[in-house]
Amino acid sequence: MTDTPTTSRNVSLFATCLGDQLSPDAVHATVTVLERAGCQVTFDPRQTCCGQPAFNSGFWQEAREVARHFLDVFKDAEVIVAPSGSCTAMVHRFVDLFRDDAELLPRAEAMAHKTFELSSFLVRELGVTNLGARLDARVGWHDACHGLRELRIKQEPRQLLAQVQGLELVELKTCESCCGFGGTFSVKMPEVSTAMLDHKLDELQMTPIDVLAAVDSSCLMQIRGRLERRGSPVRTMHLAEILASR
Amino acid sequence: MSSAREQILGTLRSQPGLKVPPLPDVMTSASSDATPIAERIAAFTAILNKLGAPVDVAPDMTAAATRITEVLAQHNASSLALSDADEVLAIAQTLPATIERIPHDAPRESLLRSHAGLSTAQWAIAETGTLALVSRHERHRLSTLLPDLHIALVPASRMLATLGDAFVRIGPDGAPDAPTITFITGPSRTADIELELIVGVHGPKALHVVIVADA
Amino acid sequence: MNTSPSNRKANAFHAQAKNALNDATLKQALRSATDTFAERRSAAIAAVPDWEALREQARLVKDATVARLDHYIEQFADNAEQAGATVHWARDGKEACAIVQKIAEDNGATRLVKSKSMATEEIHLNKALAERALEPVETDLGEWIIQLAGETPSHIIVPAIHMTRDQVGELFVDKLGIPPSNDPKTLCAHARERLRSHFAQADLGISGVNFGVAETGSILILENEGNVRMTTTMPKVHVAVMGIERVIPRFKDLEVFLRLLPRSGTGQHLTTYQSILTGTDSAQDSANGQGPEQVHIVLLDNGRSKIAVDEKMRETLACIRCGACLNACPVYQTVGGHAYGTVYPGPIGAILTPQLAGMHEAKPLPFASSLCGACKDVCPVKIDIPSLLLELRQRAVEGTDHEPATKRSFFESMSWRMWSWFMRGPKRFRFASAMARLGQRMPLVHRLVPPMAAWHSTRELPRLAKRSFRDTYKGPSK
């Protein structure tokens, strides 16, 4: 474990719009986990969304307006932690959105530097892996794309899961396969989106697990919707929920 | 100058303000590897064997001729298309008279029906199991392509370590040494039907390399 | 096959993708092929210790070349002519086709053979030549199968990836009258025999170009089968069609690209053959040239010069056509190449086609991606395809100085305006989520509101929590 004293433990929580509205339990668990790791957590209720849905859909003007709101809300935050790799990656992409804006570009750059996804914040920034959690379950991990390929998060969630008592981490061959969500892609091309996910879920028929987990509410929403439709007994859990379990 | 040329270049020059990143120095593996010849031959052999191409090492030209005769017999090959390399012409003289020798400038029809082809190679590359043939030194384009079996007679001293070593030699002043340079790594192959590997599509069905120790 | 090749369009991606999803044979063929290639690629690059350095170098070389493409392509043309080749410049596909046709007619050539080339597919050269009864025989095994079937390639490297051995066998029985067989080896032997007679009689050979070397005017072509060597050696006339972005500055730069391309494409450390051709044999070897008497190089622009001066998009031209992004792409793995309705499928096709053919000809393609980023990770020249897709999406929606925005439905545009408004204030956000909670109690909403109906067609709808986090969070526990 490395101690990185430069990182502030005064955390501004970015619940993400999906987390806030769809999976508040995962966000509460995020607070619990951060507090157990020694952080002071604050939640600014003015926050809404990072702007990703519009950005990914080509509506950059609208995305810019929402991103601008984010920059204002979190202006004074020391560090921002989100229980999502995708939303964190979007904040890192504000620099693309404001590339022609001399005033906001430096603010976007600064924001990128202080915004972290949960697992990488715990492991890389705080040097914490053991949160005293316990969960008796066989867990398969889904490496969500933006965390994996934009933030280069791969080992961090595994290091955290390895410390959870009673938990058996089952490595899936398709752990890095996209769940097919892709924001509006999931409703613009529902058949393709679902076929992509089915490739992943088909593996579960050979590899029994109890829980399929990830650090992104968006992927989990997609995965859960299809598991339910397929009548699968496998549950979905957010990483924070696992780490907060006792 | 055609107008198409002017127009294409005109578009390319229409935004003079764009960034022009510098061209990096050439990255090359040349001379980075000093493994002894014997090890190079072993590496070369291992790669080609994996691709289904046998490699023999003959102590001298006499032994090489014997080996070539055996290989021809194995393949029931009674006609042999020759490149015009000195080594090839010399060894061809010592092969049994029953083997029909077809010179490099024979009519296409006779080259097309020859069972085997014999060439040397200007360089061999241990790292990749590759033969490099340079047309200025050896007219090789047909004898190494048309027959079912290609036999290459390669002096051991030409065995280079890396791809970069070959580029230095085939392009000594940064320009290719000949109008045609051919790299050959194994027999002709395809995987176009269900990715199943099949050897011998349009080029030779078999490649056999005979390395001669004291050339 | 559900859609006939001539009807496929990039703008019909949705329908074509759905057709592909319903084809069980295709699904299995695609999965096995893309998995196999991905595994071979991983194994091949794992054995290269300096893979990242090679990628970095290749990209730097490409960036420097594209930025001065005017200089390098002109240098290439001059040097190729110096070496004895004839260089032609073509602004677009039509012009390129006319040039090839004229070369054939000037030489009285009637029997044409051709090796695999994406540039010639792009300009539909075969179709143009067929109109003059000059259609070349494709000689790459996969391309020949495609030609016999009246199909189009579905993969950059393996054109017939979508066909099974049974389908190929039936095709050969039907078109060539061979005895029934589904054994690839037997089928291949028939192909060898047939195509040999074409090679022996051909009077003009058409090839593509993998790399053109500016400082020497050389072209390099990679292959496994030997048909490129046949095509560029046997006929008296060789015509090479080369996209202007194929040029690299120096002869010795070839080494880096030769290390990257085969490993990324087929997982081979080198393909079986590389032909490095500089002008004609006869220019340097008047007595005994074995190759063609004439070599023509057709430099094809067809939209590339515009991309080269588009600063945000020009990394598109770094592509070396290895096909790795196709094999890595979960969308391509699922729907295959034909769904794209274009010559270039997969992630590279999704960024290349809207630029070459125009956004309005390929509206769905930039959106046909979950932006997972797998393509960027495997690209040997590190093209940031997801970012380029995002840029193209923005251009499609908001338009550029050169191209108007593509038409959006009123519903879509209005939704994003409203979304932005609701997301810019906590009270509005709260109001919107309250409305959504109300809405999800009404079962008809699932069926009638388009995005939810689309979701519900294949998945259970997510349920908003009874009370959101912001409504239940009480502040720090201590």
pLDDT at A114: 97
Q: Is residue B23 part of a domain?
A: no
Whether C214 contacts C249, CB under 8 Å: yes
Confidence bin at C174 (pLDDT 50/70/90): very high
ipTM above 0.95, yes or no: yes
Which tokens sit at B125?
Answer: 């590359």
Note the pLDDT of residue B182: 97
pLDDT mean across residues, chain C = 94
Structure confidence at residue C288 (pLDDT): 57
Amino acid, res. C93: G
Q: Classify residue B201: in a domain, yes or no.
A: yes
* B181 min Cα distance to partner chain C (Å): 5
- Domain spanning C48-305 has what CATH number? 3.40.50.10420
Output the pLDDT for position C438: 86
**pLDDT average, residue stretch C171-199:** 95
Binning pLDDT at 50, 70 and 90, where does residue C199 land?
very high
pLDDT band at C281 (very low <50, low <70, confident <90, very high): confident
Q: Walk me through the domains of chain A, giving residue ranges and CATH numbers.
A: 10-123 (no CATH), 132-244 (3.40.50.11810)
* Centroid of chain to Cα C386: 16
User: Over its length of 215 residues, how does chain B's per-residue pLDDT go in tens digits?
Assistant: 459 999 999 999 999 999 999 999 999 998 877 889 999 999 999 999 999 999 999 999 999 999 999 999 999 999 999 999 999 999 999 999 999 999 998 998 899 999 999 999 999 999 999 999 999 899 999 999 999 999 999 999 999 999 999 999 998 888 888 999 999 999 999 999 999 999 999 999 999 999 999 64
For residue C190, is pLDDT > 90?
yes
| Among C89, C168, C251, beta carbon nearest to B8 | C89
- For residue C372, the chain A residues in CB contact (below 8 A) are 145, 149, 178, 182
Contact C322, B29 (CB under 8 A): no
- C219 secondary structure, DSSP code: E
> What is the mean predicted confidence (pLDDT) over C227-249?
97
The answer to whether residue B195 sits within a structural domain is yes
pLDDT at residue A1 tops 50: no
**What is the span of the domain harbouring residue B102?**
35-212
- Helices C385-398 and C346-356 pack at an angle, to 10 degrees, of 40
What phi and psi values does residue A226 have, to the nearest 5 degrees?
-80, -40
With bands split at pLDDT 50, 70 and 90, how would you rate the model's confidence at A6? Answer: low
**B1 Cβ contact list (under 8 Å, min separation 6):** none
Note whether C269 contacts B: Cβ–Cβ < 8 A. yes
pLDDT at C448 over 80: no
Contact call for B20 and C284, based on CB within 8 A: no
- List the subunits that have 3+ CB pairs under 8 angstroms with C: A, B
Tokens linked to C40: 């071979």
Structural domain boundaries in chain C: 48-305, 413-472
Amino acid at C89: W
The pTM of the full predicted model, rounded to 2 decimals, is 0.96
pLDDT at site C286 = 56
Residue B153, domain CATH: 3.40.50.10420
**pLDDT tens-place string over residues A89-112:** 999 999 999 999 999 999 999 999
Query: pLDDT digit string (tens) for C337-358?
Result: 999 999 999 999 999 999 999 9
* Identity of the residue in C331, C374, C459 whose CB atom sits nearest the CB atom of A229: C459
Count of the separate structural domains present in chain B: 1
Please tell me which residue of chain A has the smallest CA distance to C437.
A21
What's the DSSP call for residue C365? G
Residue B165 vs residues B116, B131, C310, C348: alpha-carbon distances, Å: 30, 13, 38, 33
Q: What percent of chain C has pLDDT over 70?
A: 97
CB contact under 8 A, B202 and C195: yes
